[in-house]
Amino acid sequence: MYDVEKIRGDFPILSREVNGKPLVYLDNGASAQKPQVVIDAVTRGYAEEYANVHRGLHFLSNLATEKYEAVRGTIARFLGADEDEIVMNSGTTEGINMVAYGWGAANLRAGDEIILSVMEHHANIVPWHFLRERLGVVIKWVDIDSNGDLDPQRVIDAVTEKTKLISITQMSNVLGSVVDVKSICEFARGRGIPVMVDGSQSSVHMPVDMRDIGCDFFSITGHKLYGPSSSGAMFIRKERMAEMQPFMGGGDMIREVTKDVITYNDPPMKFEAGTPGIVQMIGLGAALEYLMDLGMDNVAQHERDLRDYARTKLDGLNWLNVQGNSATKGAIFSFTMEGAAHAHDLSTVLDKRGVAVRAGHHCAQPLMQHLGVPATARASFGLYNTKAEVDTLVSALELCHELFA
Ligand SMILES: Cc1ncc(COP(=O)(O)O)c(C=O)c1O
């Protein structure tokens, strides 16, 4: 039984007021709030268990190493992967840059093609542009349809003998559209083409399983998963790890350094240089345990109910232009208001009612160009949101309409 009121009690910040109104936090797509178990794990990490990891022989260093390394196992369980397929990092931006430099720069050359969709986040665009600028690789863009869905067949149709990588989000951070990445992976595997899946949004809202999806790279980012910022991980299939060069050099990722040569640590450590976000990762471990205790199927069901409720309510506002209308989308709604108000104005008025939404291009400028809008306001729901909060959003939007229309 999913008891949303009880769950809300786990998140201290949700009981605060903003501008004299109860907080209605609908900016989960940007970053999610933290449950007490995460706050406690971080506090304990610093108050009782802190030292640098991997390098010491003293009690606290061993304890911190044990706690930190245990998180690798937790991430592996969360993703349905093996521990040695998990590279821990600060989040998706670092993760995709690591794949671009570590795998891309080592395996791609001028004229090779990388396939992206128009609804990627800049984190899954800019590193590939670097390779376009520096190596001469070619980026091929795949469009979405009028509902905001990405038909896997369009990706498959874009593949040529020059295609060397497909890098696609599993859930749009703007439209909430969910991509059937499994079908893309099935096809690509038959052709030996690696697939990188940006799971930054999907992993927060639905169960994800690496063996089921069949991808080569899959990225998660901790702060969206109710964990600390600067925590995250990249799943990398072992064959692909073997094809990679280290992205960053420094402590921990080497076995031996002499004046003339270096030898590397075994993967995944080979790809983790320097002191990591020790306590942040311990906090992420607590967040993933929390999610697994709730059950990602239950989280997904709760958010589907919220999505359906919000969709019906927002559809009733005929002056609101909701972008994308995918039947299977997550509970993320991007909108503009007819005849009025820049998205920033909408966000400012909503904030006065205690409703936190994001406004702007959401780091998805090619998608904004595709939609023909400069910006949208975005309400993105999470596991602790309620139907009553949808009602508050709707009445605050009605106020915006009165003010701006
Ligand atoms: C789909 C998607 N990919 C990548 C990112 C980048 O994540 P981070 O900034 O945590 O590295 C985000 C964050 O908004 C996102 O929504």
Which of 172, 221, 332 should be mutated for ligand 1, with most atoms under 8 A from CB? Answer: 221
Largest CA distance in the chain: 72
| Neighbour count for residue 7 (Cβ, 10 Å) | 18
Q: Of 293, 311, 340, which marks where a domain is finished?
A: 293
**What per-residue confidence (pLDDT) applies to 56?**
79
Question: Do 258 and 373 share a structural domain?
Answer: no
Cα separation values, 295 from 37, 291, 338, 340, Å: 16, 6, 39, 42
Assigned domain for 33 exists: no
Query: Total domain count for the chain?
Result: 2
CA of 138 to the centre of ligand 1 (A): 23
pLDDT digits 0-9 by tens, 275-302: 999 999 999 999 999 999 999 999 999 9
Task: Name the burial class of residue 19, with classes exposed (0-12), middle (13-18) and buried (19+) by CB atoms within 10 angstroms of its CB.
Answer: exposed
Residue ranges around ligand 1 (CB below 6 Å) = 91-93, 121, 123-124, 169, 173, 198, 200-201, 221, 223, 363
Determine the straight-line distance between the first and last CA of the chain, rounded to whole angstroms.
43
State whether residue 167 is helix, strand or coil.
strand
Assigned domain for 35 exists: no
**Among all residues, which ones are annotated catalytic?**
363
Assigned domain for 34 exists: no
Range of the domain at 61: 40-293
Question: Do 276 and 375 share a structural domain?
Answer: no
CB-based contact 352:277 (threshold 8 Å): no
Question: Do 133 and 214 share a structural domain?
Answer: yes
pLDDT band at 340 (very low <50, low <70, confident <90, very high): low
CB-based contact 200:224 (threshold 8 Å): yes
Question: Do 61 and 16 share a structural domain?
Answer: no
The pairing of strands 232-236 and 86-89 is antiparallel
Q: What is the pTM of this model?
A: 0.98
Q: Of 258, 293, 328, which marks where a domain is finished?
A: 293
d(Cα 362, Cα 15) in Å, to the nearest integer? 27
Count of positions (residues) in the chain:
405
**What per-residue confidence (pLDDT) applies to 169?**
98
pLDDT digits 0-9 by tens, 137-192: 999 999 999 999 999 999 999 999 999 999 999 999 999 999 999 999 999 999 99
Of the candidates 224, 203, 216, 352, the one whose C-alpha atom is nearest the C-alpha of residue 284 is: 224
Question: Do 217 and 82 share a structural domain?
Answer: yes
The domain that contains 354 carries what CATH number?
Answer: 3.90.1150.10
The domain that contains 250 carries what CATH number?
Answer: 3.40.640.10
Question: Do 284 and 238 share a structural domain?
Answer: yes
Q: Of 241, 271, 293, which marks where a domain is finished?
A: 293
Of the candidates 83, 69, 127, the one whose C-alpha atom is nearest the C-alpha of residue 247 is: 127
| Neighbour count for residue 156 (Cβ, 10 Å) | 17
> For residue 374, is the peptide bond before it cis, meaning its omega torsion is within 30 degrees of 0?
no
Question: Do 89 and 180 share a structural domain?
Answer: yes
- pLDDT over threshold 90, residue 342: no
Index of the ligand 1 atom closest to the CA of residue 90: 11
